[in-house]
Amino acid sequence: MKKKRTLKEKFLYWLDEKMSEGSLGLIKLLTIVTTITALIVAFVMQAGGILVSGEYDTFGARLWASFSSIINCFMPYYDDGDVKYRSLIAFNTIYSLFVTSFLIGIISTGIQGKITSLKKGNVPIMEEGHIVVLGFEPGEYSLIQELVYGADKRAVCIVVAGETDREEMEECIRDNVKCPKNVRILCRSINIFDPHTLERCSISTCRTVLINPTDNDRTIRMLLAVTMILHQVPERGISTIAVLSKDDYRIPPAMLDKYRIMLLHTNDTIAKIMAHSCTQPGLSKTLLEMFHFEGSEMHIVSLPGTEGLTFEELICRVDDASPLGIYKGEELHLNPDPAMVLEPGDKLLVFCEESDSAKFVDAPALPPVESLPAYSGTEESGRVVIIGYSAFLSTILYELPENVPAATLVNVPEQFREESLKAAEKRETKMSVSFFDKDMSNLNALEELAKEADHIVLLSAYNKPDDEADLQNIFMIMALRDIRERLNLNFNITTEMRRENNQNLLIPAPDTEFLVSSNMSSLFLAQLSESPELLSAFDELLTNEGSEVYLKTAAELHCEGTRTVLELRRRLLPLRHLMIGWMDGDTLDCTFELSLSDTLNLKPHDKLIVISED
């Protein structure tokens, strides 16, 4: 049986609907009540024959007097009509005080709400050709800074969207990112997983979408939200670039191609960098400078007059840039055969400061290159000690250089030891693996471990929050540095950090290498946002296949003494080493901007930065 609603219930229901309309609904309600009040007072004056100001006797005059007294808050004088008239107008005046108060409150609340909405960045972006960065993380600014560096002198707009409050985002970026006048950074506080709110970033008109390095689940959800928008504008050719720590999610290749999605898998990349950095002090710094926009980086260029030349000839005739490879169509030949010819339509991959830095010069007079002794490789690098366990461990063990004879694993859980041993067994060269299970908070145990180490790797504890894990490694570094100084030991430390800002809490030292996975990922993302074609080059440089970056001492390459860059290029080419820079063996400072005529005075322990297959 249908329940009969009372008049009070119906009124309250109607009032609730009006209230739910927000400020506009309240103003409508107030207007209705005010109109009814003015009419009631006018009818009362009409029924009682009350004259307006003692002389006007029409309903229109009475209605006008009633409305105007409410609107103007007009309190009549003593001689304005009789007592009845003054009383009714005074009632209207008192009522109007409440109306005015309510109205001011409604308007101020509405304005405050609109200001709050504007502060959160709810106004849609009206830019075109901009870069969208999804997933702002306080404390992580390397990606935004690299995009600013990559802009150079061009006018660029970067839209940063996240769940952090817009004011906080703007303040953090303002305090931590150096931004020139030609770069505008716009922040939006939105739900980054909702396609509808993502459209406020005008993704359908942007150039590139970059997903800030975060956990895999958040990255995939953002990717799916972006594809919902890109599905509506397939003709725009917008690139989306993201980082996954590992290939947990198998996105169909057809979907990646359709929506121009590029995925970087960083676990293996960072593990490999750690494996090589721990035995080559300065390598991580070298890679940071290589992939940093502030300085030299990789460019794809076309140089007039180079068609028909071999790569060996190009090595001798491309100045102010280091040739690295040849693009034949979309296929990259990194560190190609010296006899490979540059054909019409081919492009060069070069390493230089700007895209227009590379110059093609006349063929120089080339004296014969003295024959080099057979390259014997590097000496054994000593024992590597790896403290902690993470998903990186197996890759690190497999990727450790061939000259590492032994590794000691500290506090590896029992269930992962078999996996670690199998990774070591897959290596082409044998490496013994042992386990050390003593408490690392015990100073004697730590000293015992340090005495047998030539290189120490500190892995991050991924079962702990980022800051807590980083702080644990910071305390371990301080303890190891103290032991090394007290006992006069000689080992270097390579540390995995989770947050970029925590790295700055320690005094820098040449014996300590820091690898921040989000920082490295940000460098790759920024480079690919400018040149997506470089993905194949990154894949080869940062994976097992093909050529990689190495630091070779001048002594092991028999290049000590005073030599020109041209001479060094020619001497190293038969070894399939492409020289891109050099490192001072004392300070570990890297120099990349080299001309063919530059002269280097190399000490035996100075290092040449080369791209090579071994």
Q: Are residues 147 and 222 in the same domain?
A: yes
pLDDT digits (tens, 9 = 90+) for 189-210: 889 999 999 988 999 999 999 9
Tell me which of 522, 539, 564 is where a domain ends.
522
Query: Measured at the alpha carbon of residue 554, what is the angle toward residues 550 and 559, in degrees to the nearest 5?
Result: 120
Structure tokens, 222? 């953002």
Q: Please check whether residue 2 lies inside any domain of the structure.
A: no
- In this prediction, residues 603-611 reach a mean pLDDT of 91
Tell me which of 259, 294, 320 is where a domain ends.
259
Q: Are residues 490 and 581 in the same domain?
A: no
- In this prediction, residues 225-246 reach a mean pLDDT of 84
Q: Are residues 414 and 492 in the same domain?
A: yes
State the DSSP code for 364. Answer: P
Give the residue with greater pLDDT, 96 vs 180: 180
Structure tokens, 218? 């958040």
Give the residue with greater pLDDT, 570 vs 9: 570
Q: Are residues 251 and 286 in the same domain?
A: no
pLDDT digits (tens, 9 = 90+) for 471-508: 999 999 999 999 999 999 989 899 888 887 787 788 77
Q: What is the pLDDT of residue 362?
A: 85
Collapse the DSSP code of 547 into the 3-class scheme (helix H, G, I; strand E, B; otherwise coil) and give the result. Answer: coil
Does pLDDT of 165 surpass 90? no
**What's the whole-number average pLDDT of the chain?**
83
Q: Are residues 233 and 149 in the same domain?
A: yes
- In this prediction, residues 606-611 reach a mean pLDDT of 91
Q: Report the candidate in 269, 251, 290 with the shortest Cα–Cα distance to residue 392.
A: 269
CA distances from 23 to 13, 70, 107, 118, 550 (A): 18, 21, 7, 17, 66
pLDDT band at 282 (very low <50, low <70, confident <90, very high): confident
Q: Are residues 472 and 391 in the same domain?
A: yes
Task: Tell me how crowded residue 24 is: count the other CB atoms within 10 A of its CB.
Answer: 11
Question: Residue 111 maps to which CATH number?
Answer: 1.10.287
Q: What is the pLDDT of residue 247?
A: 59
Cβ-contact 194, 163 below 8 angstroms: no
Q: Please check whether residue 353 lies inside any domain of the structure.
A: yes
Q: Which of 44-58, 212-226, 331-345, 585-599 has the lowest mean pLDDT?
A: 44-58
Collapse the DSSP code of 43 into the 3-class scheme (helix H, G, I; strand E, B; otherwise coil) and give the result. Answer: helix
Q: Please check whether residue 55 lies inside any domain of the structure.
A: yes
Range of 310's domain? 280-362+547-612
Q: Are residues 37 and 85 in the same domain?
A: yes
Q: Are residues 354 and 311 in the same domain?
A: yes
Name 162's bridge partners: 189
Question: Residue 508 maps to which CATH number?
Answer: 3.40.50.720
Q: Are residues 294 and 241 in the same domain?
A: no
Q: Please check whether residue 77 lies inside any domain of the structure.
A: yes
Q: Which of 174-178, 249-253, 295-299, 401-405 has the lowest mean pLDDT?
A: 249-253
pTM above 0.75, yes or no: no
Does pLDDT of 384 surpass 50? yes
pLDDT band at 259 (very low <50, low <70, confident <90, very high): confident
Residue whose tokens read 């107008």: 89
Q: Are residues 111 and 181 in the same domain?
A: no
**Calpha distance 573→537 (Å, rounded):** 19
Q: Please check whether residue 511 lies inside any domain of the structure.
A: yes
Give the residue with greater pLDDT, 470 vs 73: 470
Does pLDDT of 88 surpass 50? yes
**Calpha distance 86→34 (Å, rounded):** 19
**Calpha distance 11→532 (Å, rounded):** 63
Q: What is the pLDDT of residue 1?
A: 47
Q: Please check whether residue 508 lies inside any domain of the structure.
A: yes
- In this prediction, residues 48-52 reach a mean pLDDT of 78
Can you state the angle between helices 517-530 and 283-290, rounded to 10 degrees? 30
Give the residue with greater pLDDT, 345 vs 103: 345
pLDDT digits (tens, 9 = 90+) for 94-146: 777 777 777 777 767 767 776 666 665 567 888 889 999 999 988 788 889 88
Tell me which of 469, 487, 522 is where a domain ends.
522
pLDDT band at 2 (very low <50, low <70, confident <90, very high): low
Does pLDDT of 356 surpass 90? no
pLDDT band at 18 (very low <50, low <70, confident <90, very high): low
Q: What is the pLDDT of residue 369?
A: 62
Contacts of 7 (CB under 8 A, 6+ apart): none
**Calpha distance 510→7 (Å, rounded):** 83
Q: Are residues 34 and 56 in the same domain?
A: yes
Q: How many domains does the chain have?
A: 4
pLDDT band at 215 (very low <50, low <70, confident <90, very high): confident
CA distances from 437 to 271, 307, 407, 425 (A): 23, 61, 14, 21
Q: Please check whether residue 559 lies inside any domain of the structure.
A: yes
Q: Please check whether residue 435 lies inside any domain of the structure.
A: yes
Name 300's bridge partners: 349
Q: Are residues 321 and 421 in the same domain?
A: no
Collapse the DSSP code of 4 into the 3-class scheme (helix H, G, I; strand E, B; otherwise coil) and give the result. Answer: coil
Rg of the chain (C-alpha set): 36
